[in-house]
Structure formats: C-alpha cells, structure tokens
C-alpha cells in the first residue's frame, strides 16, 4: 500500500513537472521579448517613445543613422528611404521619410519590421512616431510617404558613432483577412 | 566519372607550387610534381598511386601555410590570424592533455593485465587526487579563456567603416549593395554560382574553382575597414569567408553586422554556412580584394556598366537576340529549380513546358517574374535582374521546348513597368 | 504478511510469458519491453544507417551522382532524427527497462501498463516519420534542428506529420522517464540507499529528470511551429512580431540537455564495465555521481553555444563560452576516474571492455573538439562545418553507440543464458573501431579546411578526405551486420553462461540465474553489499 501511494505521488509530481515545462516552453516567448527589449538583443527596438520634455541634447558629438530597406520574400511593393543616412545630434528630434508603393493590381497590407545594429545601440534609438507601429493598407498602385520621428538618446555609448536602422517589409495581407473574418 | 579525377589535380598542383616557397620541402615537392604529372595521364589503376601519394602531399603542404587541406587557414586579416593562433594554442593544449591521459591508459593496459599475473589493487578513492584533477583543469581552462576573451573583444571592437556593404542572402545566391549617400552612385548586384550544370552533373570536366566560382564577386579595397550589414530575404543563410574569420548568420527581418580589414590583394572564397534549402551547397561567396586604385577603377566601371544597361534597355531587340540572351539568363537564374529542360521538379518547382505561366497571357508571365509568387519558391526577379534580362528570359521561355508562343516583349516595356518601382 | 508474499510469488511463477504475438503486444514485463526497445532501436539504427550511407555514397566524389540535392537534404534530416530519437534514445530506454529493476532488486518497473504504451507508441511515430519519404514534397528536409523559417514557411507539406511524430516520440520518452524515476525512487530493495545504487541507475535517474524537463519544451516548440504553419500565429516570423532566432533559443534549450540525455547513460554503462574487467572497484563513486549531476545542471545554461554566429552581444557570447568551458571539469573528472579505475587493476580485454576503453579514448577526443568549439572566436571558423560533424559523431558514435554495443555484449549472456562468440565479438569491435575512425577523423580535416556541413557536393580540395571518409562509413555500416549475426547466434545457442558471467562482475543482476527468469526479485534481495559492487 505504502509503495503504491509513493508511486502515485511520484507520478503526480512528475506529471506536474511535465505540464509545467510545457508551459515554460511557451513562457520563453514573452521572456525572450523582455530580454530583447531590456538588452537590445537581436537589435529589436522598443515601441512608441513618449517625449518627457526633459530630453537634453549633447551637441559635442554627431551620430550617423543609416537606413536600410528590405522586402521580404516576394513582397511586390516599392520601398525605399528618402535618404540613405543622416547625421544627428543626440537628444534632438529628427524626421526621416520612407516611400512605399503597391505595385500590384490588388489591395494589399504590408508591415515593416525594424531592426538595429549594433545591438547595444538599439536601446538608445527612441521612435516617437513610426510607420512600423502599424500596418499599411494600400490600394493598387497607391503610394505613400511614411514618416519616422526619432531621437538618439544622449546616453548612447561613446563608441557608437554609427547605427543602422533596417526595415523589412512583409506582406501580411492573408493574416489580416483572417483577422477580419 | 573520369573527368574530374584528372581535373581535381589542379588544386593539388597549385598547392605544390605554393609549397615550393619553402626550401626545406623543395626537393620533395619536385618529386611529387613529377609523379603527379605521370598520374594525370592515368588509367584507373594509376589512381591508386595518387592515394598513396596523398599523405606525402599533405605532409609537405603543411610547410606552406597559405592554404591547407587539413587545417584552418591563417587568412588575410589581423583577426583571422589571431583566431588561427588561438585555434593552434587550444589544439596543442588538448594534445598535451591527450598524451598524458591516453599515455596513462596505454601504460595501464600494458602493465596491469591479468595475463601478467597482476593482482588488482584495492584503492577506490583519493580525495587529494580528485581535488587535483578538478583544480588543474580549471587552471588550464582559465589559461584558454584569457586569450579567447581578448580575441573576441578585438572582433567586437567598434570602428568607423570606410565602406558599408549590405549582404543579402537569397535562396540561393547573394546580393551585395555598396551603400552610398548618393543613390545614383550605389552599386548593387546579384552574385550567383558560375559553375555550369554540366560540371555538377558530371557531363563535363570540373574546373579549378568547382562550386567556388561566381559570376559577380564582391570587390573590396585592401587595408580599409569594410562593414558587412548582413540580412536575408527568405530563410536563414550564413555569410562565411574563412580567410577573414567572418561568419555571421543572415536572418530574415533582422540585420547583423561584421567587419574585416583585408591586408592582401587576392581572391577569397567561402560558402553559405547555414542549411537554407535545396541549393544550400551551391551558393558560394567570392571576395576579390584589390588595391584602392584598382578598386576605384572597378567602381567607375560598374557605374558605366549601369549606364550601358540603360542604353541596352532602351534599344529595340530582335526576337532572336532576346532568345539568345534569354537562354543565358535562364541558365544562370532558373535551371536550379525549373531544370535545363524546363520540366522542373514538381510539385515544388512546376514544369514550364506546354503548361502554366509560359503558355498563358504574357502580362501574367512578366508579372510573376517581376514580383514572384507569394508562398512559393518563385522569387521576385524584378529585384535581381535588369529589364533586358527579364524581357529576354520571358521571351525565351515562351518559345523554348516547343512552347512556341511566337510572342516577345521588349526591354523598354519592362522598364516602364519597373520604373514605377 | 510474509506468507502472503510467498504465495503471491509462487502464483506469479505459473505465469510464464504468453505465447505468440500477443506476448509482445500486451506484455507488461520489463524484460520483454526492454527486448522490444532494443530490437526497435536496432532496426532504426539500420534505417538511419541506410540514410547515412546514402549521404556518404553521394559524397564519395565531387559532382552529383547518386542523390540529387532535394533527396540529400531529406537524407541528412532523417538520418539525424532517426538516429537521435529512434536509435540511441530507445536503446538506452531498453537497457533501463532490462537492467534498472534487476540492479535495484525490484520485481518489475513501477508502472508496467504505461511501460507497454510508451513502447508501442514508437513504431507508430517512426512509421509516420518514415512514411513522409513517400509523400508529396518528400520527407523533412530542414535538418534535424529544423530551424524556422525553413521548417515553417518554406517546409514541404509533410512537416505536419513530422510535428505529430515528434509529439508521439516526446510522449513516449516522457512516459518512459516517469516510469524510470518512480521505479528508482520507490522500488529499491529495502536497505538500498541512493548512494548504494549502481552508477548506471544513477545516470539514468538523472537522465530521466532531464528528459522530463526538456521533452515538453520540444513539444512546445513543435506546437508553436504547428500554430505558425496552420493557425496564423507568428512565433517565428518577424512579420507578426516573432523572431526566427527565438526558435533557435527554444530548440537548443531542449537540444543541449538532449545531447547529454544521449551520453549520461553511456557513462553509467562504462562505469559498470571497466571495474568488472579491471577487477577493481570503480574509482571515486561519489565524485562520479556529483559529476553527472553537475553536467546535467550545466546542460541547462549553455544552450546558446550552438548559436554563436547568430549575433549575440559580447557579454552573452562571453557568458556562454565560459559556462561551456566549465563542463570540461566534471567531464574530465569522469575520464580521470575511469583511468584511475584501470590503473593497477588486473585487466582482461573481452569485447565489452574493448568497446568501453574505445569509448573512453574516442569520447575524450570528441570532448577535445568540443572544448575547441566552445572558444567563440574559433567557433566562428568551425561553426556549421564538418569539424562540428566530426565532433558530435565522435561523442555519439564511439560515444553513445559504442557504449550501447558494450552493454549488449556485457549483459547478453545474462539476457540469453548463452555466451556470445568472443572471436566474432572482437572482430566486430576492431572493424567498428577502424570504421569509425576512418569515417570521422578525416572530417575534422575537411571541416577545418572549410567544408560546410549538409552540402551534397563540394569543392575539389575536399575530395580526398571525403573519399576516405565514405570508405570508412561503408566499413562501419556493413560491420554492423556482423553484430546482428553475433546476437542472433548467441540467442540460438552457445556456451552456457554462469550466474556471475564475468569473474569481476558486481551487482544484483549477477546474483540471479542466466538467462534471467521471466520474473525476478519477487522477494527483495537482502545482501546490499553486492549491489554497490
């Protein structure tokens, strides 16, 4: 009897571990996002930045911000930055424009995903306004100038003189239709 | 089958020539050059001789460090040499530990056998010993960690780049973009495998740089800090140039960077290092490093070329010209999936013969080439080919393999469609 | 009470094994199930081996001769999956089934019915996995590590079957592990403390905990894939806010403990065999246990060393490098302990001992290349080349698989009651030993010289070593037919084995007759001195 009880208790405990670890597998997803956001790991940038009004500028240096655009897989839109790079004063609000056009004969939804390198700079690039916060729905042949407003934090490490902000444009038409249904 | 065996001596001979630089092995090498010449007119029996020679070849080529059959390359950057030294250091440490451990085992196996009438000892623990062989490895590991950390720090050392190149992986080729603040001066091209299918399928002898040759190599100046901004268009690839000790994964949606300062002019070859689908083994990387002056000339040339393309696109092409050009474009960009005979490998790569797109409306045909098809392996070639090439390949596939659609499209028309991009 | 037990015991004796196929379908006997697992894994070893020989045949010469790239990728993927999940893991579970109850003096596994289920899931899982070869688009072709998005957006349709098969394997492993843990913790003979258990039992206890901890994570990651493919989520696609690198983190959080799951029981086997043939007690039993436990612990905190090239910040790279290097310490302790066990022993070199010694030497070589791979700057050059292939084959083939072969030779007389043919056994050993080294040692060279892994065709400077490696692979592969023959011959007859079988053997399993009766230890053994060896 005692042995049987011990077995049952063992099985219950071990099953609990199994269920817990399965859940843990899924918990790794938000955990990873948090780690990425805190450390800038994999070049992910945070969401919209609220201006606190207390930002100060550091006029003693200039940081080059470079823009890259990339269309994933078969995304048939035009997508390019208005300028390739800009030198900015840390702490100052800047604006850059990106041009996009739906080259197809049908309405499509696209979404741009940002990525920053070097990673350690990712945390110091604050976007107050970005087209990447939402998706873009364009009719056939429709074009759009999309603004990006950003501040490079004056706390950005001294050895980072240049950071690259890359946007990859994805076709998310099918998933948005799913959402509507 | 026999062709490659003859051809594959080329790299060997080259190595031997490199080996000649070292006097010590000169005599030795001459002998081998002679024997190899003999072998190259071989019959099958003589192949054997080659494999007997192999150990000797390996032996003498270790004397020349330029290139190796069995070890890392020293490479041509400060970082790659540091990595090589680190690799050799760790290797030697492992050898020493190996000699001690395996030595003890071998001594024990020789001396402590029952057949010699040895009575087993009874000891089965010794705290002193056990502590010793915990502490000593820790000390050795610290000894390894110190140089490893310093090399890694050097790799992560930030610096102002002289040249920014965006490296973008595609299934299964690379695209290089030389970033420039003036969009008109940006150079962008696709770099794909040049080795013909005939060599791969053993219908022709294999060339010297079999599978390591591309149509458009990445060209860089020496002694300049080059920053690679690495990303991917589809799946994960990995950009690897062994001579620079640069290997970085190209991940869709993300951009990663790496850098190199190449110290010697030369042609450096690498390969994609992350499984990326069917032709993962067929997307080499070739970097041509040259003096600044030569590099500047190359840039000018490239820019002129771009202007010339403009001209080519502008002129009127005959159908024959388009088909001829189209066959060439097809061989370079399409055969991997749709095959030389157009039959494809259904269902992933559909046949183009007498069915589907090439015998449908031409507008759809152009459309799929320019923009690809979502959810399939068909890429948007509008990003990779110029208008003349698109027009040519459309015309070719509509009229090859008995498709016989009798229609064609002019580069100019394609250009109008592309200009809106 | 005592009388009741006796009566019960006698009652049991009348139930011999059932006759015919139903014996195997419905059996709950740990020995039967152990046998089923071992034969299943042997069959999978041959299937995975055929895939491997297909790969090596293609790589015999440059150029595409035998298989085209699409099939080549399927072969590499299936070779990896079948060998890891179909050959090595079930073989160890089979050994655990046979040996754990006999070693701890228990009548059977704790949960016999579940034991039956956990085995019979496997043929379905692998039947389904192998059937993908005949599906439209072919078998999985994205490598056994199935990195997204190659395994999601770009995968052949058979990926869904692959996911289901992985789920089934996971369930089987988890049930098997629960069984092992409950058996070890609840059914030890009275008086046997944990620190008196044979090392094989210890290593399996720790392995089972690892399995329970990480197989659910594998199940989680394939479930996320399934949702990405069919239900529109975006765990691994940047488009929906996911990240393909996340896949690698979750996968290797499972994957690194997984590689220790495949080696820890091997440590246990070798720790049983070396003392027997050295006729000397295992050196440093306690430190062996602690070393195993610390290796298991470390396996959870080093996963990103498989991903040094994906782009990790400097601090991350340094942490994972140091943590990985630390693993060398407990592993070194184990190797030194084995050498110290041999030292001043009175050794004989029967087949199990030969395999065990080869294990120590070749596994250590695999350990050296592992140490080299842990050095981040050097790893940038080694990563995803044949150097890595050489490394993990050195720890898996002459590591795990040699230990399984050693175990089979060592316990075969106990299982069948007959001695195997020693001459043939030694022949099999030497053929395998030569075959393994000729196959995998040159792969270090081609890797360092720059050949990436998972490519169906290669540049000419890699031709010579590849040809040698392919020759070795065929030698090793075909030698295993001899192994099959030796086992069959031994089952059919041969010199009768004694109870003790080997004159230096210690442990409870050697106190029962050979062949081991269908039911053993219905009354618990009393002499615990014997158990500890």
The proportion of chain B whose per-residue pLDDT surpasses 70, expressed as a percent, equals: 83
Distance (Å, whole) CA C379 – CA C518: 51
Assess if residue C5 is contained within a domain. Answer: no
How many domains would you assign to chain C? 1
Q: What is chain C's mean pLDDT, rounded?
A: 93
Catalytic status, residue C520: no
Provide the chain A residues 88-117 that lie in CB contact (below 8 A) with chain B: 101, 103-104, 113, 115-117
Q: How far is B163 from chain A (nearest CA, A)?
A: 13
Q: Is A120 on the interface with B (CB under 8 A)?
A: no
Instruction: Find out whether C62 and C150 touch, Cβ atoms under 8 Å.
Output: no
Fold of A44-180: Ctag/Cox11 (Pfam 04442) (2.60.370)
Q: Residue C248 above 80 pLDDT?
A: yes
Q: Do A168 and B379 touch (CB under 8 A)?
A: no
Of C65, C347, C446, the CB nearest to B113: C347
Assess if residue C29 is contained within a domain. Answer: no
pLDDT of residue B375: 66
Instruction: Find out whether C129 and C161 touch, Cβ atoms under 8 Å.
Output: yes
Q: Do A72 and B161 touch (CB under 8 A)?
A: no
Tell me the chain B residues in contact with residue A166 when contact means C-beta distances shorter than 8 Å. Answer: 229, 231, 254-255
Strands B163-170 and B225-232: parallel
Say which range, B199-208, B299-308, C361-370, C393-402, has the weakest mean pLDDT. Answer: B299-308
Say which range, B60-74, B259-273, C126-140, has the weakest mean pLDDT. Answer: B60-74
| Cis before C492 (ω within 30) | no
pLDDT of residue B419: 56
Residue B261 has φ and ψ, to the nearest 5°, of -120, 105
Catalytic residue among C334, C383, C393, C428: C334
Tell me the chain C residues in contact with residue A8 when contact means C-beta distances shorter than 8 Å. Answer: none
Q: How far is B373 from chain A (nearest CA, A)?
A: 6
Q: How far is A74 from chain B (nearest CA, A)?
A: 5
User: Is residue C2 very low, low, confident or very high in pLDDT (cuts 50, 70, 90)?
Assistant: very low
Question: Which pair of tokens denotes residue B84?
Answer: 């090589």
Q: Residue A2 above 90 pLDDT?
A: no
Q: How far is B267 from chain A (nearest CA, A)?
A: 28
Instruction: Find out whether C337 and C282 touch, Cβ atoms under 8 Å.
Output: yes
pLDDT of residue B44: 43
Distance (Å, whole) CA B393 – CA B397: 6
Which residues have a Cβ under 8 Å from the Cβ of B223 and sit 6 or more positions away?
B261, B262, B263, B292
pLDDT of residue A102: 85
| Sign of the four-CA dihedral B401, B407, B411, B417 | negative
Cα of C297 vs its chain's centroid, Å: 19
Nearest residue of A to residue B363, measured between CA atoms: A105
Catalytic residue among C39, C117, C120, C144: C144
Distance (Å, whole) CA B367 – CA B380: 9
CA dihedral C351, C352, C357, C360 (to 10 degrees): 140
**Number of neighbouring beta carbons within 10 Å of residue C103:** 27
**What angle (nearest 5°) sits at the alpha carbon of residue C37, between those of residues C36 and C41?**
115
Q: How far is B187 from chain C (nearest CA, A)?
A: 26
C303-359 residue pLDDT tens: 999 999 998 889 999 999 999 999 999 999 999 999 999 999 999 999 999 999 999
Instruction: Find out whether B205 and B3 touch, Cβ atoms under 8 Å.
Output: yes
Q: Do C325 and B240 touch (CB under 8 A)?
A: no
Which CATH number fits the domain that encloses residue C457? 1.20.210.10
Which of the two residues, C32 and B49, has the higher pLDDT score?
Answer: C32
Q: Using DSSP, how many helices (H) and how many strands (E) does chain C show?
A: 20, 0
Nearest residue of B to residue A70, measured between CA atoms: B233
Whether the domain at B78-156 and the domain at B315-419 fall into the same CATH topology? no
B70-111 residue pLDDT tens: 899 999 999 999 999 999 999 999 999 999 999 999 999 999
Of B91, B155, B281, the CB nearest to C457: B281
Q: Do B374 and A74 touch (CB under 8 A)?
A: yes
Scanning A61-136, the segments in alpha helix (DSSP H) are 119-122
**End-to-end distance of chain B based on CA atoms, in angstroms?**
48
Tell me the chain A residues in contact with residue C241 when contact means C-beta distances shorter than 8 Å. Answer: 113
Q: Stretch C241-254: mean pLDDT, rounded? A: 93
Q: Do C219 and A175 touch (CB under 8 A)?
A: no
User: Where in B272-413 does DSSP place strands (E)?
Assistant: 284-290
pLDDT of residue B166: 95
Residue closest to C74 by CA, chosen among B304, B280, B391, B173 = B280
Q: Is A158 on the interface with B (CB under 8 A)?
A: no
Residue closest to B251 by CA, chosen among B263, B239, B241, B259 = B239
Domain locations along chain B: 2-61, 78-156, 163-307, 315-419
| DSSP states of B210-268 | TTS-BSS-EEEETTSEEEEEEEESSS-EEEEEGGGTEEEEE-BT--EEEEEE--S-EEE
Residue B335 has φ and ψ, to the nearest 5°, of -60, -30
Residue closest to B270 by CA, chosen among B232, B231, B243, B290 = B243
Q: Stretch A117-132: mean pLDDT, rounded? A: 86
Q: Residue C286 above 90 pLDDT?
A: yes
- Residue C82: DSSP 8-state: I
Fold of B315-419: Cytochrome Bc1 Complex; Chain D, domain 2 (1.10.760)
Catalytic status, residue C77: no
Which of the two residues, A12 and B382, has the higher pLDDT score?
Answer: A12
Helix orientation angle between C328-342 and C285-298, rounded to the nearest 10 degrees: 160
Instruction: Find out whether C265 and C88 touch, Cβ atoms under 8 Å.
Output: no
Instruction: Find out whether C511 and C528 touch, Cβ atoms under 8 Å.
Output: no
CATH class of the B78-156 domain in this structure: mainly alpha
| B contact chains, 3+ CB pairs < 8 A | A, C
Distance (Å, whole) CA B279 – CA B171: 7
For B133, the 3-state DSSP assignment is: helix
Say which range, B196-200, B331-335, C108-112, has the weakest mean pLDDT. Answer: B331-335
Q: Residue B11 above 50 pLDDT?
A: no
| DSSP states of C218-244 | HHHHHHHHHHHHHS---SS-GGGT--H
| DSSP states of A61-80 | --EEEEEEEEE-TT--EEEE
- Residue B203: DSSP 8-state: S
Of B158, B231, B371, the CB nearest to A76: B371
Q: Do C240 and A175 touch (CB under 8 A)?
A: yes
For B193, the 3-state DSSP assignment is: strand
Catalytic status, residue C173: yes
Distance (Å, whole) CA B219 – CA B233: 22
Q: Do B121 and C278 touch (CB under 8 A)?
A: no
Query: C-alpha distances in angstroms, B12 versus C128, C409, C420?
Result: 47, 45, 48
Tell me the chain C residues in contact with residue A176 when contact means C-beta distances shorter than 8 Å. Answer: none
pLDDT of residue B64: 39
Instruction: Find out whether B257 and B227 touch, Cβ atoms under 8 Å.
Output: yes
Q: Do B374 and A160 touch (CB under 8 A)?
A: no
Of A6, A28, A119, the CB nearest to C313: A119
pLDDT of residue A118: 87
Greatest alpha-carbon pair distance for chain A in Å reads 79
Residue closest to B177 by CA, chosen among B234, B219, B236, B239 = B219
Inter-chain contacts counted by CB atoms under 8 A, chains A and C:
102
pLDDT of residue C431: 97
| C contact chains, 3+ CB pairs < 8 A | A, B
What order do you get walking across the sheet with A108-117 strand by strand? A85-88, A63-71, A162-171, A108-117, A136-138
Cα of B51 vs its chain's centroid, Å: 27
Q: Do B158 and A161 touch (CB under 8 A)?
A: yes
Query: The tokens 């350690």 sit on which residue?
Result: A120
Tell me the HSE value of B269 on the side-chain side, using a 13 A CA sphere: 22
Q: Residue B143 above 80 pLDDT?
A: yes
Which residues have a Cβ under 8 Å from the Cβ of C450 and sit 6 or more positions away?
B73, B242, B270, B271, C385, C462
Q: Which CATH architecture has domain B163-307?
A: Sandwich (2.60)
Whether this prediction's pTM lies above 0.90 is answered by no
Distance (Å, whole) CA C97 – CA C201: 11
Q: Which residues lie across from B197 on neighbouring strands?
A: none
Instruction: Find out whether C497 and C471 touch, Cβ atoms under 8 Å.
Output: no
Residue C216 has φ and ψ, to the nearest 5°, of -65, -30
Q: Is A14 on the interface with C (CB under 8 A)?
A: yes
Distance (Å, whole) CA C106 – CA C524: 7
Residue closest to C369 by CA, chosen among C394, C397, C386, C391 = C391
Q: Residue B396 above 70 pLDDT?
A: yes
Q: Is A133 on the interface with C (CB under 8 A)?
A: no
**Number of neighbouring beta carbons within 10 Å of residue C294:** 16
- Residue-range definition of the domain harbouring residue C242: 34-532
Instruction: Find out whether A17 and A93 touch, Cβ atoms under 8 Å.
Output: no
């Amino acid at each position: 009897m005692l042995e049987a009880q011990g077995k049952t208790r063992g099985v219950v405990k071990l099953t609990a571990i199994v269920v817990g670890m399965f859940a843990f597998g899924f918990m790794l997803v938000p955990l990873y996002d948090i780690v990425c956001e805190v450390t800038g790991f994999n070049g992910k940038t945070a969401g919209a930045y609220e201006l606190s009004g207390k930002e100060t500028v550091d006029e003693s240096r200039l940081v080059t911000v470079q823009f890259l655009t990339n269309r994933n897989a078969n995304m048939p839109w035009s997508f390019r930055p208005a300028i390739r790079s800009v030198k900015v004063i840390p702490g100052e609000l800047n604006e850059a424009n990106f041009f996009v056009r739906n080259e197809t004969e049908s309405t499509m939804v696209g979404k741009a995903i940002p990525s920053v390198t070097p990673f350690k700079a990712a945390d110091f690039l604050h976007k107050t306004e970005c087209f990447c916060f939402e998706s873009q729905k364009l009719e056939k042949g429709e074009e759009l100038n999309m603004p990006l407003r950003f501040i490079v934090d004056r706390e950005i490490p001294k050895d980072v003189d240049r950071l690259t902000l890359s946007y990859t444009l994805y076709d998310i038409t099918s998933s948005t239709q799913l959402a509507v249904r | 089958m026999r062709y490659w065996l003859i051809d594959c001596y080329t790299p060997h001979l080259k190595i031997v020539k490199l080996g000649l630089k070292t006097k010590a092995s000169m005599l030795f090498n001459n002998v081998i050059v002679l024997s190899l010449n003999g072998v190259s007119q071989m019959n099958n029996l003589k192949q054997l001789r080659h494999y007997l020679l192999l150990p000797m070849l390996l032996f003498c080529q270790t004397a020349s460090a330029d290139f190796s059959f069995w070890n890392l390359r020293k490479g041509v950057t400060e970082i790659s040499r540091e990595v090589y030294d680190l690799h050799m250091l760790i290797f030697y440490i492992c050898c020493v530990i190996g000699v001690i451990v395996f030595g003890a085992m071998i001594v024990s196996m020789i001396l402590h056998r029952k057949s010699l009438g040895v009575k087993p000892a009874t000891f089965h623990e010794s705290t002193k010993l056990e502590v010793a062989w915990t502490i000593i490895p820790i000390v050795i590991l610290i000894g390894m960690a110190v140089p490893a950390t310093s090399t890694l720090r050097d790799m992560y050392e930030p610096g102002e780049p002289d040249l920014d190149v965006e490296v973008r992986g595609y299934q299964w080729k690379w695209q290089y973009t030389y970033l420039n603040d003036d969009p008109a001066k940006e150079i962008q091209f696709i770099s794909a495998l040049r080795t013909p299918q005939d060599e791969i399928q053993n219908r022709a002898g294999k060339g010297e740089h079999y599978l390591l040759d591309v149509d458009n190599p990445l060209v860089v100046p020496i002694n300049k800090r080059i920053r690679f901004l690495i990303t991917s268009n589809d799946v994960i690839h990995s950009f690897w140039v062994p001579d620079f000790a640069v290997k970085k994964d190209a991940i869709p949606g993300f951009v990663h960077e790496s850098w190199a300062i190449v110290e010697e002019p030369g042609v450096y070859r690498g390969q994609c290092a992350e499984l990326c689908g069917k032709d993962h083994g067929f997307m080499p990387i070739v970097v041509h490093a040259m003096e600044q002056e030569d590099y500047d000339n190359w840039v000018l040339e490239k820019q002129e070329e771009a202007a010339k393309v403009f001209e080519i696109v502008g002129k009127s092409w005959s159908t024959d010209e388009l088909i001829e050009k189209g066959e060439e474009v097809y061989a370079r960009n399409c055969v991997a999936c749709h095959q030389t005979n157009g039959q494809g490998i259904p269902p992933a790569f559909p046949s183009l013969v007498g069915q589907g797109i090439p015998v449908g409306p031409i507008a759809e045909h152009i459309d799929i080439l320019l923009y690809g098809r979502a959810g399939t392996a068909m890429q948007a070639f509008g990003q990779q080919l110029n208008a003349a090439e698109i027009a040519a390949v459309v015309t070719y596939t509509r009229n090859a393999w008995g498709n016989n659609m009798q229609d064609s499209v002019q580069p100019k028309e394609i250009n109008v469609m592309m200009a809106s991009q | 009470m005592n009388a009741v037990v006796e009566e019960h015991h006698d009652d049991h004796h009348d139930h011999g094994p059932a006759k015919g196929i139903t014996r195997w379908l419905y059996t709950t006997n740990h020995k039967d199930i152990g046998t089923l697992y071992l034969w299943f894994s042997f069959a999978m070893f041959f299937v995975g081996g055929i895939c491997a020989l297909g790969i090596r045949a293609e790589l015999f010469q440059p150029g595409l001769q035998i298989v085209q790239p699409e099939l080549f990728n399927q072969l590499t993927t299936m070779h990896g999956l079948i060998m890891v999940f179909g050959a090595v893991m079930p073989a160890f579970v089979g050994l655990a089934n046979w040996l754990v109850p006999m070693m701890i003096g228990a009548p059977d596994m704790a949960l016999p019915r579940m034991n039956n289920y956990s085995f019979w899931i496997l043929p379905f899982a692998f039947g389904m996995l192998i059937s993908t070869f005949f599906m439209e688009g072919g078998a999985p072709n994205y490598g056994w590590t199935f990195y997204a998005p190659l395994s999601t957006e770009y995968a052949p349709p058979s990926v869904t079957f692959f996911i289901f098969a992985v789920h089934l394997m996971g369930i089987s492993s988890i049930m098997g592990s629960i069984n092992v843990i409950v058996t070890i913790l609840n059914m030890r003979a009275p008086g046997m403390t944990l620190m008196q258990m044979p090392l094989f039992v210890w290593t399996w206890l720790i392995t089972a905990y690892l399995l329970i901890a990480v197989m659910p994570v594998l199940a989680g990651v394939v479930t996320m894939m399934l949702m990405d493919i069919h239900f529109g989520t975006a765990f691994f696609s940047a488009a929906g806010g996911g990240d393909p690198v996340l896949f690698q983190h979750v996968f290797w959080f499972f994957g690194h403990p997984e590689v220790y799951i495949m080696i820890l029981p091997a440590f246990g086997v070798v720790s049983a065999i070396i003392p027997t043939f050295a006729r000397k007690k295992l050196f440093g039993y306690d430190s062996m246990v602690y070393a195993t436990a610390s290796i298991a612990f470390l396996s959870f905190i080093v996963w990103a060393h498989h991903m040094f090239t994906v782009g990790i910040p400097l601090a991350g790279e340094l942490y994972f490098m140091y943590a990985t290097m630390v693993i060398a310490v407990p592993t070194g302790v184990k190797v030194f302990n084995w050498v110290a066990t041999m030292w001043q022993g009175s050794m004989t070199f029967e087949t199990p001992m030969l395999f065990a010694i080869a294990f120590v030497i070749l596994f250590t070589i695999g350990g050296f290349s592992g140490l080299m791979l842990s050095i981040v700057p050097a790893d940038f050059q080694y990563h995803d080349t044949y150097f890595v292939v050489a490394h993990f084959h050195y720890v898996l083939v002459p590591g795990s698989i040699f230990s399984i072969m050693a175990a089979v030779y060592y316990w075969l007389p106990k299982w069948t009651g007959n001695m195997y043919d020693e001459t043939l056994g030694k022949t099999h050993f030497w053929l395998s030993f030569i075959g393994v080294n000729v196959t995998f040692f040159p792969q270090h060279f081609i890797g360092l010289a720059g050949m990436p892994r998972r490519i169906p065709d290669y540049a000419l400077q890699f031709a010579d070593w590849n040809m040698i490696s392919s020759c070795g692979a065929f030698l090793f592969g075909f030698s295993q037919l001899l192994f099959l023959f030796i086992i069959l011959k031994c089952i059919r007859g041969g010199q009768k084995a004694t109870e003790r079988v080997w004159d230096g053997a210690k442990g409870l399993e050697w106190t029962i007759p050979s062949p081991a009766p269908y039911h053993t230890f219905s009354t618990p053994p009393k002499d615990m001195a014997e158990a500890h060896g």
